[in-house]
Chain A
């Protein structure tokens, strides 16, 4: 087959939230942009197999749970009838509507979209393999935005239809009776929540002694208490030794916890043990770029790799592997390419776990502060004192803010409770603006809302709280 040659001012590899943001921003800044993605549907993992479909399903799960929950308050629904085909359709419609939107916006911006796989031939050329043949694409600037894939653990049966990653789990082929989720990170907990609401009996196994390792455990605690009730089992400090396929298609899983060994039979296993960067098969060996031993590509604050004309953004540049970080980095890369003085100088990248309750944080965590001996002071407000929280039938939430002891500026914020993910934005803005405790407490927050808890936490710190009684310090 003949090899075509093309030239692009800017080529973006990967059309996820980072890649398409970079492509569109560069196009809006007058660049001629080519966007390459191996899938027909644009939007990457986030839109097609991640953030968006999982949130559609988590929404349905929440409705089921809330309907059940209000029976305590006098509203009685029957047992829900779940039509899995319709559930799947709802999720797919949300995804396809957004994906089509991206394609249309690409067209409107005259971004040249190529569906194929890309591999570097040199520091200035890429080979794109498409169903119509190969294209040798030379470029002035390239942006690597190939993202990440689910990581795995050794000893799993290969190609077993009941051993899933998050991608298959979101396809919602069936609702297993007993589901084992390997990995107590955010993906495992979110998917466990969905399957449990749809009827599965869910067990979580986590190698570390806590769920959500790395998060402040005081924020995890309310979630842990709830999941302890909702899930069949939560095994912490427990290792999966083997997963063996049974004749009837079920899976026998052997565990090891300390010196204790035991095994259980599950209908399905979901593996959510983290994600690994997609840096292999990119042909990086033909460039001067060498990923580190975990496969991440190093960049500077302009998102440049060691080759100043090749940029990398998003998951492939390292943790945190979050869509909003990728989007921000994508715009920085596009602006730097267009000659603008952009740089990634964000002070905080928020993280959200969309379980119920949700957990969200931004900036400094107490875990990090203690590990790095960064001095801080804390203002904390329990949602049991929030009128709105009680009115929605919940009392387990907490909002805490970490302050600089000298300047009283916000260093970090952590929230657990319903809608924590929507509340965290104010905290991120506070960090970026260098707001201090008074800036927050003197800002009038609407009543009765959950955002008040942010003002209340600042008031607790400032000693001006009236919604709690805290005896004066001696």
Chain B
């Protein structure tokens, strides 16, 4: 029979994607898992594989099209049965996020503002191949163009009711409205009046990144706390480790120390490991300690999340940072690799700067911005001494965290970095 191939749901937060390449044409014979199109979204490029063998009869999208989940991509003539196979759900999870040119070293990469791949606060929905809804509700959802697989059922045992579809549509509509709050129309300016210009279209990732940054900036009352840590001993220790491990693949950077210190502080001051729920009335404390690391790539920012940082030692964290960078280079970074973070670390230390104000990555409530360390004269034990000083900043959501807590956080971070022997579970004995 002829099958319509639709754009699958690409995950929370992705509304439209741009078709960057169409790899099939009418008459092509395609096999299961062949890539049919490549998309560009705010989360980098994505390959859409086909789930059936068959022959392409129609191609309904072309490069440059902006499409939504559920859009008709191609039609194929296929012998495949309609009965969902048991592993079909797994298969649809296989869409890989691929990031070209992710910088070689995650640990030493330069990051500007973290973004990307955050869990939104919409209620968790169970993705089911056959939605639990009666024929009339299925019709109603077609009328409204609602994707039932995204609708959470409120009826007995999770049945999707008409009201669920209505409130889903309402929430989508109001989200769309609030995504552009208080935008004032921008006057048309003829820049060429003052000299030669060139207009280049923003990349899809830049545009979506921009929207999300604006939303985070406008909806979160930010405060940024600045501080400095004395990492003289830590730096020396790192250099020693580096010389000892010269022949090994694992890179010895500051990042694993920072990750361990942050995980310890998230445990000690649980407000930093919390999120506001969708009502804004409740604080959700997380009992896990997943930390995102913002990474700059040519295509935009990605924030792979290191899970259970508290339970991993220095070597494991170093290796995982390498794995993630290889995964990204090998186009193997999965959407799940970038979800579920509790806190983000963003580092500009590789370039320059004495301090910056990073934007919180919602629904997280705080972000650490690392600047460039330098040797400074520090008055210590009665004299000025050359010390390695790391300037950094901590931006936080003032609805959740107050200034004293933030000051305590940076004070303790300083202590942990200065007395890194106190870091628990480094596994470096």
Contact = CB atoms under 8 A, between A and B. Distances in A.
Given A300-B2, A300-B75, A341-B143, 8 more contacts: A299-B1, A300-B1, A306-B58, A341-B145, A347-B130, A374-B86, A407-B132, A407-B157
B4 A301 contact: yes
Contact of A298 (B2, B83, B130, B159): B2
Interface of B: 1-4, 57-58, 75, 77, 81, 83, 85-86, 130, 132-135, 138-139, 142-143, 145, 157, 159
Contacts of B1: 298-300, 317-318
Contacts of A298: 1-2, 77
A300 B2 CA distance: 5
A317 B2 CA distance: 10
A159 interface: no
Interface in A398-436: 407, 409, 432-434, 436
The residue among A317, A318, A343, A434 with the most chain B CB atoms within 10 A of its own CB is A434
Interface string A355-395: 00000000000001000111100000000000000000000
11 contacts: A300-B1, A301-B4, A318-B1, A341-B142, A342-B142, A345-B135, A346-B135, A347-B130, A374-B83, A375-B86, A434-B132
B96 to A, nearest CB: 27
Contacts of B2: 298-300, 304-306
A351 to B, nearest CB: 16
Residues of A in contact with B, size category: 20 to 34
Interface in A118-147: none
A434 B139 CA distance: 15
A290 B258 CA distance: 65
A433 B130 CA distance: 11
3 tightest Cβ-Cβ pairs between the two chains A and B = A341-B142, A298-B2, A298-B1
A300 B134 contact: no
Interface of chain A, main secondary structure: loop
A373 B142 contact: no
Contact of A433 (B3, B4, B134): B134
B159 A434 contact: yes
A436 B157 contact: yes
A435 to B, nearest CB: 10
Nearest to A375: B86
B129 to A, nearest CB: 11
Contacts of B75: 300, 306
The residue among B2, B3, B134, B142 with the most chain A CB atoms within 10 A of its own CB is B2
B204 to A, nearest CB: 29
A432 B143 CA distance: 18
A315 to B, nearest CB: 14
A265 to B, nearest CB: 44
B230 to A, nearest CB: 56
Contacts of A346: 135
A304 B135 CA distance: 21
A92 to B, nearest CB: 37
A372 B83 CA distance: 9
A298 B2 CA distance: 5
B27 to A, nearest CB: 12
Contacts of A433: 134-135
Interface string A279-300: 0000000000000000000111
Contact of A341 (B3, B134, B139): B139
A452 B2 CA distance: 41
B4 A432 contact: no
Contacts of B145: 341
Nearest to A302: B4
A300 B4 contact: yes
A432 B86 contact: no
B86 A373 contact: yes
Nearest to A304: B2
A23 B75 CA distance: 27
B331 to A, nearest CB: 31
Interface string A54-76: 00000000000000000000000
A342 B135 CA distance: 11
A434 B86 contact: no
Interface string A316-355: 0110000000000000000000000111011100000000
A306 B57 contact: yes
A441 B372 CA distance: 70
A374 B4 CA distance: 24
B134 A434 contact: yes
Contact of A434 (B77, B85, B133): B133
A82 B133 CA distance: 52
Contacts of A305: 2
B410 to A, nearest CB: 49
A284 to B, nearest CB: 15
Nearest to B138: A345
A298 B54 CA distance: 13
A246 B130 CA distance: 58
Contacts of A341: 139, 142-143, 145
B216 to A, nearest CB: 36
A343 B140 CA distance: 12
A331 B132 CA distance: 24
A300 B60 CA distance: 15
Nearest to A288: B57
Interface string A435-454: 01000000000000000000
Contacts of B138: 345
A409 B83 CA distance: 16
A306 B1 CA distance: 10
Contacts of B58: 306
A320 B133 CA distance: 24
Contacts of B142: 341-343
A436 B130 CA distance: 14
A298 B81 CA distance: 13
Contacts of A300: 1-4, 75
Nearest to B142: A341
A343 B132 CA distance: 17
B267 to A, nearest CB: 36
Given A298-B1, A306-B58, A374-B83, A432 B135 contact: yes
